[in-house]
Amino acid sequence: MTYTDWHVTGINVNACNCNWGCPCQFNSLPSHGNCRATMAGRIDRGYFGSVKLDGLKFVALAAWPGALHEGNGEILAVIDERADAKQREGLLEILSGKHSEPGATFFNIVSTIVTKVHKPLFKPIEFEVDMKARTGRVSVPGVIETRVEPIKNPVTGEPHRARVVLPEGFEYHEAEYASASVKSSPPVVHDWSGRHSHIAVLDMGPKGVRH
């Protein structure tokens, strides 16, 4: 397979409409019959070919009418407005999954199960995250607002910590699990609270996650 070399390292914050834990991580069906999700990333160091991507952010909003493997999903990409033309192109090429080995990355897998790709947006992205505390906020004015907090024990109210390791994962190697509230505007509408979220180190290239 011929593709442009790329690599990104940083951190990502994902959230979906499933119950805490996200059945997808364990090859189970979605909690509520369908899958709606958002992924946000901050690239601390990265490149696409000769184009540097350091310091840029991105958000993807996606939805499927059923389980992921049943396909027929839709996706919207939001790219950091600070990116220049070449950086925008590079980020969109990475997100398209066309420069990953088949099945190696989250981006490539998603590309095979969506049938509608909305025109990308170029907007300011607010991104705050504390992986250890399991807190975060991702905001694109007029598009999406995501807030992340620790899962709480229903009896004591104390923070409950859960960490998951996927030795062969295509999205992350290790993630801290949390709780998220998400609200977005059309064309991909999200609206839920107290559902699954995870925060993970972003360390990925054409051959997948670095384990």
Q: What is the pLDDT of residues 7-19, one digit of tens each?
A: 999 999 999 999 9
| Domain-located, residue 200 | yes
Phi, psi of 156, deg, nearest 5: -95, -20
pLDDT of residue 1: 65
| Domain-located, residue 62 | yes
Mean pLDDT computed over 28-37: 97
| Domain-located, residue 37 | yes
Phi, psi of 92, deg, nearest 5: -65, -35
pLDDT of residue 130: 97
- Residue-number span of the structural domain to which 49 is assigned: 6-206
| Domain-located, residue 14 | yes
Mean pLDDT computed over 174-191: 98
pLDDT digits 0-9 by tens, 66-118 = 999 999 999 999 999 999 999 999 999 999 999 999 999 999 999 999 999 99
Strand partners, 39: 14, 60
| Domain-located, residue 211 | no
Mean pLDDT computed over 147-152: 98
Tell me the C-alpha distance between 119 and 79, whole Å. Answer: 11
Tell me the C-alpha distance between 146 and 48, whole Å. Answer: 27
| Domain-located, residue 1 | no
**Whether pLDDT at 194 is above 90:** yes
pLDDT of residue 2: 81
pLDDT digits 0-9 by tens, 38-64 = 999 999 999 999 999 999 999 999 999
- CA dist list (Å): 49 to 80, 102, 128: 19, 19, 28
Tell me the C-alpha distance between 160 and 183, whole Å. Answer: 24
| Percent of the chain predicted with pLDDT > 70 | 100
Sign of CA dihedral 14, 15, 20, 25: negative
Give the chain's end-to-end CA distance (angstroms, integer): 22
pLDDT of residue 68: 94
Residues with Cβ within 8 Å of 85's Cβ and at least 6 positions away in sequence, in order, are none
Phi, psi of 111, deg, nearest 5: -60, -25
Strands 135-140 and 126-130 turn out to be antiparallel
Strand partners, 128: 137
Strand partners, 194: none
Mean pLDDT, the chain, rounded, equals 97
| Domain-located, residue 118 | yes
Residues 16 and 22: beta-carbon distance below 8 Å = yes
| Domain-located, residue 78 | yes
Domain count, the chain: 1
